[in-house]
Chains A and B, each alone.
Chain A
Amino acid sequence: MTSSTPPKVGIIANPISARDIRRVVASANSVQVADRANIVLRALAALAACGIEEVVMMPERGGIATHVLRGMERSNAQGEARFPRLTHLAMPVTGTVDDTRRAARMMREAGDIAAIIVLGGDGTHRAVVAECGQVPIAGISTGTNNAFPEHREPTITGLATGLAAMGQVPAALAFAANKLIEVRIDGGPPDIALVDVALVTDRFVGARALWRAETFRELYVAFADPEVIGMAAIAGLIEPVTRREPGGLALTLAPAATAPMVVHAPIAPGLVTPVGVESWRRMPSGTVFSPDIAAGSVALDGERELFFDGHQEVTITLQDAAFRTVDVAAVMAFAAREKLLLRHAAPTTHPAPPRAALLAGA
Chain B
Amino acid sequence: MTNNPFPLSRDELLTAYRTMRTIRDFEERLHVEFAKGDIPGFVHLYAGEEACATGIMMHLTDIDRIASTHRGHGHCIAKGVDVHEMMGEIYGKVTGCCRGKGGSMHIADLSKGMMGANGILGAGAPLICGAGLAAKFRGDGGVGLTFFGDGAANQGTVLESMNLAAIWNLPVIFVVENNGYAESTSVEYATAVDSYVDRAAGFGLPGVTVDGTDFFAVYEAAGEIIKRAREGGGPALLECKTVRFFGHFEGDAQTYKAKGENDHNRAHRDCLKLFGARVTAAGVVSEADLALIDREVAALIDDAVETAKGAPLPGARDLTTDVYVAY
**A interface residues with partner B (beta carbon < 8 Å):** 15-16, 18-21, 23-25, 30, 32-34, 61-63, 95, 201-208, 295-296, 309
| A61, B207: Cβ atoms closer than 8 Å | no
Closest 7 interchain pairs by CB? A203-B5, A19-B209, A206-B220, A207-B220, A61-B188, A23-B206, A206-B216
State the Cβ distance, B273 to closest chain A Cβ, in Å: 15
Separation of A18 and B236 alpha carbons in the complex (Å): 15
- 8 residue pairs from A and B, CB less than 8 Å apart: A20-B210, A21-B208, A21-B220, A21-B221, A30-B201, A32-B195, A61-B188, A62-B194
- Closest A residue to B194 using CB positions: A62
| A207, B6: Cβ atoms closer than 8 Å | no
User: Which of A18, A24, A201 is within 8 Å of B228, CB to CB?
Assistant: A24
Chain B 105-136, CB-CB to A under 8 Å as 1, else 0, gives 00000000000000000000000000000000
| B198, A33: Cβ atoms closer than 8 Å | yes
Instruction: Let me know if B282 is at the binding interface, CB within 8 A.
Output: yes
Besides A24-B224, A207-B208, 6 more A-B contacts (Cβ < 8 Å) are A16-B209, A21-B221, A63-B193, A204-B216, A206-B7, A207-B210
| A30, B228: Cβ atoms closer than 8 Å | no
Separation of A296 and B282 alpha carbons in the complex (Å): 10
Residue numbers in A under 8 Å from B208 (CB-CB): 19-21, 23-24, 207
- Closest B residue to A296 using CB positions: B5
| A25, B224: Cβ atoms closer than 8 Å | yes
Residue numbers in A under 8 Å from B217 (CB-CB): 205-208
| B6, A203: Cβ atoms closer than 8 Å | yes
| B6, A30: Cβ atoms closer than 8 Å | no
Instruction: Let me know if B167 is at the binding interface, CB within 8 A.
Output: no
Using known A-B contacts A30-B201, A203-B5, determine if residue A61 contacts B194 with beta carbons closer than 8 Å: yes
Separation of A239 and B311 alpha carbons in the complex (Å): 73
| A21, B5: Cβ atoms closer than 8 Å | no
| A204, B278: Cβ atoms closer than 8 Å | yes
User: Which of B192, B200, B201, B220 is within 8 Å of A63, CB to CB?
Assistant: B192
| A20, B219: Cβ atoms closer than 8 Å | no
Instruction: Let me know if B60 is at the binding interface, CB within 8 A.
Output: no
Separation of A34 and B11 alpha carbons in the complex (Å): 46
Instruction: Let me know if B281 is at the binding interface, CB within 8 A.
Output: yes
| B198, A32: Cβ atoms closer than 8 Å | yes
Separation of A201 and B197 alpha carbons in the complex (Å): 29
Using known A-B contacts A201-B5, A205-B214, A207-B210, determine if residue A19 contacts B197 with beta carbons closer than 8 Å: yes
Residue numbers in A under 8 Å from B6 (CB-CB): 202-204
| A204, B201: Cβ atoms closer than 8 Å | no
Residue numbers in A under 8 Å from B198 (CB-CB): 30, 32-33
Using known A-B contacts A24-B228, A204-B6, determine if residue A30 contacts B282 with beta carbons closer than 8 Å: no
Chain B 215-236, CB-CB to A under 8 Å as 1, else 0, gives 0110111001100100000001
State the Cβ distance, A62 to closest chain B Cβ, in Å: 6
| A63, B194: Cβ atoms closer than 8 Å | yes
State the Cβ distance, A279 to closest chain B Cβ, in Å: 24
Separation of A30 and B5 alpha carbons in the complex (Å): 31
| B195, A15: Cβ atoms closer than 8 Å | yes
Separation of A342 and B41 alpha carbons in the complex (Å): 74
Chain B 273-295, CB-CB to A under 8 Å as 1, else 0, gives 00000100110000000000000
| B225, A24: Cβ atoms closer than 8 Å | yes
State the Cβ distance, A310 to closest chain B Cβ, in Å: 9
Listed residue (B193, B228, B239) with the most chain A CB atoms within 10 angstroms of its CB: B193
User: Which of B5, B193, B197, B214 is within 8 Å of A23, CB to CB?
Assistant: B197
Separation of A202 and B8 alpha carbons in the complex (Å): 11
Residue numbers in A under 8 Å from B236 (CB-CB): 24
Listed residue (A30, A34, A201) with the most chain B CB atoms within 10 angstroms of its CB: A30
Using known A-B contacts A203-B5, A204-B5, A206-B214, determine if residue A24 contacts B195 with beta carbons closer than 8 Å: no
User: Which of B201, B225, B239 is within 8 Å of A32, CB to CB?
Assistant: B201
Residue numbers in A under 8 Å from B220 (CB-CB): 21, 206-207
Residue numbers in B under 8 Å from A21 (CB-CB): 208, 210, 220-221, 224
- Closest A residue to B55 using CB positions: A206
